[in-house]
Amino acid sequence: MSHKIVLSIGQCCADHSNISQILEKHFSVEIVNADTSIEAFSLINTKNFSLILVNRIFDSNGESGLAFIEKYCSQKSSASPIMLVSNFEDAQKDAIFHGAELGFGKNALTSSDTLSKLKKHLAN
């Protein structure tokens, strides 16, 4: 069984741990963490990710996850699907407007709807 690689950007330690546990429980994945946009773009340029998950506000430095999504989606090389991790519906709408897929909130991490969204990209 092959594994897929997920890039998780801007999550705090607790959220990164929770997301990782759910992903590893339901899918054969490797989770790579990036704290900043610079680190994330460096990783994106060197690896192929099955999915990119972006926090609304980066925990390490307060960067905007929506600004990251807008920049990522505006690049011709934005081949990996990207989702916003946020409980705020207006932020999800903004992310979709800039080219992301409908993401999920941390409160809905274990919901069947969230798992269905993830399965689309992470099922083997």
DSSP string, 86-104: -S-HHHHHHHHHTTPEEEE
Fold of 4-122: Rossmann fold (3.40.50)
**pTM of the complete model:** 0.95
Residue 1 pLDDT > 60: no
Tens-digit pLDDT profile for residues 5-60:
999 999 999 999 999 999 999 999 999 999 999 999 999 999 999 999 999 999 99
Across all residues in the chain, what is the average pLDDT?
A: 94
**Conformation bin of residue 10: beta by default, left when phi > 0, alpha when psi is -120 to 50:** left
Structure tokens at 48: 């192929």
Confidence of residue 124 (pLDDT cuts 50, 70, 90): confident
The torsion of the CA quartet 122, 98, 92, 32, rounded to 10 degrees, works out to 40
The residue ranges of every structural domain in the chain are: 4-122
